[in-house]
Chain A
Amino acid sequence: AQSVTQLDSQVPVFEEAPVELRCNYSSSVSVYLFWYVQYPNQGLQLLLKYLSGSTLVESINGFEAEFNKSQTSFHLRKPSVHISDTAEYFCAVALSGTYKYIFGTGTRLKVLA
C-alpha cells in the first residue's frame, strides 16, 4: 500500500535560518508529488508539485523541493525563512493514473524571531 511519511511533526527554526522539511513515500508505481501549506485557520494551498521532468521544483516564495527517486523522497527546503512561513506543511502523493491524494501527517514549521 502507498504511504507518505513526514518524520518531523514540528520544526522550530530562527528567522533567516535555512530549513528542510522531510517527506518520504512508498509506492511501487510512478507518483506525482505535492507540498501544500496550511496557514492557521485556513484551507490548504498548493506550494509546489513534481509531475515529471526536472527533479528540482521551486515555488514563488523561495521554497524548493527535490524529487529523489532512489530514496523515494521529496524534501522541502528554504535557504532563509521568514516569520510569515510559520504554518503546517503537508506532503502529498498521487499515484500516476489515479486521482486520489494520500497526505502525510504534516510538519508544523514555527519560525522564531
Chain B
Amino acid sequence: DTAVSQTPKYLVTQMGNDKSIKCEQNLGHDTMYWYKQDSKKFLKIMFSYNNKELIINETVPNRFSPKSPDKAHLNLHINSLELGDSAVYFCASSQGTSGANEQFFGPGTRLTVL
C-alpha cells in the first residue's frame, strides 16, 4: 500500500554510465517532483511535473532528463554519471500545484557513483 514508491532503493555504478530511477504514486495526485539530497542532507528540488507537463526545471545539468509517461509515474534518467551525482534522490507527489498542498515523499534512492 506504499503511496510513493521508488526503484531501485540503492544504485551503485561507475562513472560514465547511464542509469534510471523510477517513481510511482498511487495517491491519484497530478503533480510529481524530483529532489536531490546531498551528503549534508541539503534537499533541493530538481524537477516538477503537473499532468505530465514540466513546470519546474531548476538549474540541473542536462545529463538529467525526467520523463512522465502518465500522471502516476515520473522517471529520472541520468547520462554520463559523475562522482558529484552521488546523493539520495527523492520523488514526491502532491495534488494540484498550490504551495499549500502537502507533498508526499518516496523512500529515496541512494545513488553511489564510483
> Contact residues of A with B, CB < 8 Å?
32, 34, 36, 41-46, 49, 51, 88, 90, 94-101, 103, 105-106, 108
Contacts and interface: CB of A to CB of B under 8 A. Distances in A.
B32 to A, nearest CB: 12
Contacts of B98: 99
- Say which size band chain B's interface belongs to: 20 to 34
B105 A43 contact: yes
A79 to B, nearest CB: 25
B41 A88 contact: yes
Given A51-B100, A94-B99, A42 B107 contact: yes
Nearest to B98: A99
Nearest to A106: B41
Interface string B18-45: 0000000000000100000000111111
B81 interface: no
B42 A105 contact: yes
B17 interface: no
